[in-house]
Amino acid sequence: MRLWSILLSLLLMALPMKASAQIDPAYQARAEQLLHILAAPGGEADFFAPLFLDAVPVDRWRAIAADLRAQHGKPVALGSVRTESATAGQVEIRYERATVGFAIVVAPQPPHRVIGLHIIGARTANDSLDKVVADISALSGTTAFAIARLTDDGPHLLRAHRADAQMATGSSFKLYILGELARVSAARERRWSDVIPLGPKSFSGRLMNWPDSAPMTLHSLATAMIAESDNSAADTLLLALGRDRVDSMLAMTGHADAAKTLPLLGTAEAFALKMPANADLRRRFEAGSPEARRSLLRDASPRLTANRVDIGSVAEVPTAIDSIEWFASPMDMVGVLDWLRVHGSDALPILAVNPGIAPADAKRWRYLGYKGGSEPGVMAMNFLVQAQDGAWYAVSGSWNNPTARVGEGRFVALMTRALNLLADSPP
């Protein structure tokens, strides 16, 4: 899940900025117009180029702008404008409770519509980690959050909100697959360069369209699974490593309620079990013990493949997020992140490919590794970070709502605030 790029249109890379002697009038005009585009719906077709709107449709942009208003109040003024060239630069917008920075690229030809825009950070006046925790706890539905310092004696909790609550975490479960890969590599049972065929396909990710049985290294599959949240890569690795062995990672990393989530489902299996057409299987899975569920997955395997899934029936609204899911508490996620820090050195570069937040914010850290998860009604973000002074931290948050989609952009902003505050003023 390249979350921040998907939600905020990463159509450009982070730009090194230098002050210009003079701002191009066309760029200045678009910077001023950004204030109005953020304040209320309307005018998007004049402001954004078709290239941008193809990637981020108007309704999606309006949802992002609404999330920013919900988080920071109304946009009230244009702040500083800096450019690197006539068409590329950074713009600050002052909201009621924060100043938000945007990187903007405009087309060089008239009418100079915006072709690239992404958020590069937010500064909130008089902010604190306690305020972030309060804002997370005030979200609709249920939330859970934890910040822990990671030491030789284990994690030390610094901030918490329902840190032991078992939450639906979506693709966060892929951290356990990565952990098992790191374990077998360290034990010399497997090598990262080992080649296996791409296995069962699943929805979401570019590998779904790759040739069947395409040869891939374990490292390439792991990178696709973590950096792109590719579900076909995850299901291939889960079966290749052995579901039982991946399941064992929960106990190894200190999961407090493994029975609630075992056996770990493949993504195609989860989609299939959520389908109304498989309500009978879902009921049996929900009522069964871990061993009964394992038997069900074996016996019903022909019904639990991607080619049997009507993805439209499970992709629009929250579906069975309290039963057909991958459950973990923030402290469980802290545990697996800390295990990877200690035992999974080869896996850390994979975790760092996609930072989950804007590059300008990620660069506050000497190291930042990320894996999250999302689906209708579910949002989770998990970070392993090393401060400039060498201290290690884990930050994990989850937001569940069984009756409505959650505001993904809003949650990204909250988690980014927490990380920035932790980087600037560690407890």
Q: Using CB atoms within 10 A of its CB, is residue 213 exposed (0-12), middle (13-18) or buried (19+)?
A: exposed
Helix (H, G, I), strand (E, B), or coil: what is residue 381? strand
Residue from 281, 236, 290 nearest 261 by CA: 290
- Which regions of the chain carry the CATH code 3.10.450? 3-124
H-type helices in 300-362, by residue range? 330-343, 348-351, 359-362
User: What interhelical angle do 174-186 and 330-343 show, nearest 10?
Assistant: 20
Token duo for residue 157:
């909790």
Question: What is the CATH number that goes with domain 129-424?
Answer: 3.40.710.10
CATH 1.20.950 given to domain 3-124: no
Question: How many Å apart are CA 30 and CA 106, to the nearest integer?
Answer: 8
- Which regions of the chain carry the CATH code 3.40.710.10? 129-424
Name 21's Cβ contacts closer than 8 Å, sequence gap at least 6. Answer: none
Q: What is the DSSP string of 209-232?
A: GSPTT-EEEHHHHHHHHHHS--HH
Q: What is the largest CA-CA distance in the chain?
A: 70
What pairing do the DSSP bridges indicate for beta strands 327-328 and 167-168?
A: antiparallel
| Contact (CB, 8 A) for 142 and 165 | yes
Residue from 409, 265, 416, 404 nearest 355 by CA: 416
Quote the DSSP letter at residue 375.
Answer: E
Classify the C-alpha dihedral 420-421-425-427 as positive or negative.
negative
pLDDT in tens, the chain (427 residues): 333 333 333 333 333 344 445 889 999 999 999 999 999 999 999 999 999 999 999 999 999 999 899 888 999 999 989 888 889 988 999 999 888 989 899 999 999 999 999 887 777 778 899 999 999 999 999 999 999 999 999 999 999 999 999 999 999 999 999 999 999 999 999 999 999 999 999 998 999 999 999 999 999 999 999 999 999 999 999 999 999 999 999 999 999 999 999 999 999 999 999 999 999 999 999 999 999 999 999 999 999 999 999 988 888 899 999 999 999 999 999 999 999 999 999 999 999 999 998 777 888 899 999 999 999 999 999 999 999 999 999 999 999 999 999 999 889 989 998 999 999 888 8
